Amino acid sequence: MAGTRFAPDRGLSVRMTVTMFLLGLLYVAFMAILIAVGVQAVVVLVIAAGFLLVQYFFSDKIALFAMHGREVSPQEAPELHGIIDRLTAMADMPKPRVAIADSDMPNAFATGRNQKNAVVCVTTGIMRRLDAQELEGVLAHEMSHVAHRDVAVMTIASFLGIVAGLMTRFALYAGLGGRRDSNNGPPIGLIIFLVSALVYAVSFLLTRALSRYRELAADRAGAFLTQRPSALASALVKVSGDIARIPTRDLREAQPFNAFYFTPALSGQSVASLFSTHPSLERRLDQLAKISAALGR
């Protein structure tokens, strides 16, 4: 948050630090167990580290390619650039690159490892459905992700899940067999599979919990920056309602990118909310209503 006028969020900073610390402990324990059972963990670590580096340094390009987005100039999208320019000045931060994805699904996302390498992308669907103030609220939300640096933290946090996922697949491909210990214990492959699956599950839940909180933090920061929480609330209602009318096939194709979206392509209820990347619409609207009342006072 240093160097911007987005409202600081101590809760988000603490949660990002705690999540990274817990994932670090989990990673150390995971590698220790793998080495203890005789796995050559170095190869897996090198492969996973390669994925992390590529994802970290090229996340903006990967996201744009996957979503069929393209960068646009001020001449191509003057209104969109105008909103970004205004928010950039209000937040006192470097202007991110601006992109548009040709998709009827109303959504937006921001990615990039830091403010100088950030890109904010909106779909043609959201530009068509929202008015200027609502779109400004959405873009303020996305730019706050860049200011909070939570996109980079989420990228790093996914590293352990990548390692555990690779090890789980390795164990499955090996048929859960492999050598046994001297006491005729269970197959090494089965041990690897069980430990990797547990580590993946824990890291998955930790990153999803952080993802939900960072969305609430982005709503707060964006609303305080624009001083129009009602515009952001209106955008949330419109986008959430219209996404329900998008063909399921299109939503499933976009689901892997839920963590980066303004609203999720698909969301769950009750117990399934533990696995959601976003808090419920009701919770987000309730928070914005409280901000609106506070600003009114």
Q: Which residues are catalytic, by number?
A: 142
Q: What radius of gyration, in Å, describes the C-alpha atoms of the chain?
A: 21
What percent helix, strand, coil does the chain show, rounded to 5? 70, 5, 25
Q: Where are the alpha helices (DSSP H) in 67-187?
A: 78-91, 124-129, 132-148, 150-173
**Residue 134 annotated as part of some ligand binding site:** no
Q: Taking the mean position of all CA atoms in its chain, how far away is CA 158?
A: 10
| Cα–Cα distance, 47 to 34 (Å, whole number) | 15
Q: In the numeric block, which tokens belong to residue 26?
A: 């989990």
| Residue 148 assigned ligand-binding role | no
Q: Is 68 annotated as a binding residue?
A: no
| 121 neighbors 67 (Cβ within 8 angstroms) | yes
- Measured between alpha carbons, how far is 99 from 64 in angstroms, rounded to an integer? 8
- For the annotated binding site, the residues are 141, 145, 215
* Residue set of the binding site for Zn(2+): 141, 145, 215
